[in-house]
Structure 1
């Protein structure tokens, strides 16, 4: 049986890379998307191939419609129509209060964090939906605990983009449930990735970990395991749900 094609946006580092490695172990044909860091993407692909898996990496800005369309067409030609999508790409801007935020910042963040997820989900649905002759599939959106906490004084805009991600998950899950597509989400908190450096505080996890009931930050592979479970047949009757990977926060 041929391997299921999976697309992981922002797959060259952090949670995306951990998800790519685990997906390959689970027997998926892995396509990771990256924007600028070709070296990191190549490392992920090489590692998967060295272990006998199938993997490719394609550069694309998934906040741009034409590049999303081209990305999915490349995957069609390489592995066939996508059967699993992980909307993982996301950015942070520097920590600040709302009254300091510019429209340029807001547009940039929402374009990257939520418009990208809508565009990728759209192309995935066109390929997965039984309405269009597809074989079904699963989508996992990587949200954040910030959707529930609001990230006051730091990232209210990021939190709002993840709140929108949660609404997308709920709405789309109901929209395509009869068409063989499940749509779910993970909401991580305080994971050791380099996204925190983008916000101006690389060691943020060390500062906040004592506020977590488990008294530690999480690892990317702990999020990846939740993502792969939601994609798997073990979650066959679950759609529109959220798994909080937060150490109890």
Structure 2
């Protein structure tokens, strides 16, 4: 199978700091690769190099067979990119920005109208189409940024934390959209949420200190975590002690630990025996 994304020994140094260290991988059509890692691990830097917005110190990357160093225009024409923070033109309305993007991408007028209508419907932008982008909430700005990345129906999508700033329902909708587009594309998303990788991705890659330390399926990655199938339960301050005793008495629970408190709630995490689901029991 021919890979749509190919990365070979990609490295980036900023002075004496190595941000990305000899990263290599391929992503085939139909694959959704999830980048996981702490802040500063090198995820965004890697994505910026793959999209041609940052020149690597060493190594190479190609999109649909076009090398980003030798044929950047052809490579970029075949990818959609949602960068971290999604810089937008704040004085434009959402509709003006999408029309501008379609024009830059060279879409014929009829095709531009068709794709804008599709993106607006898929991302729920109808209520804010004629509002200046600078007046929109973080969630709507993120959705406008995502709309521009998919507008030209690219074969490759590079999405840096696509659900950042969205509420739970919006996260669910965007994840569904990514899944629906995945069959004929190669997609990379970065996230710090394992649940997002499990919900969307076919493959998971963990980056730490600029190096790839794990490359496996989401299920295999989740199985390494002691939090797999753990359940966190909240209770009022007065009933916190009773809740812990109740959880510890459940047959499928191995141990109960305090979780970080939020507002006035006591929170406890119940860990299952042998990693089995205890949701129904809890």
State TM-score, norm by structure 2: 0.25
Could you say which structure has the higher strand fraction?
A: 2
Pair member with larger Rg? 2
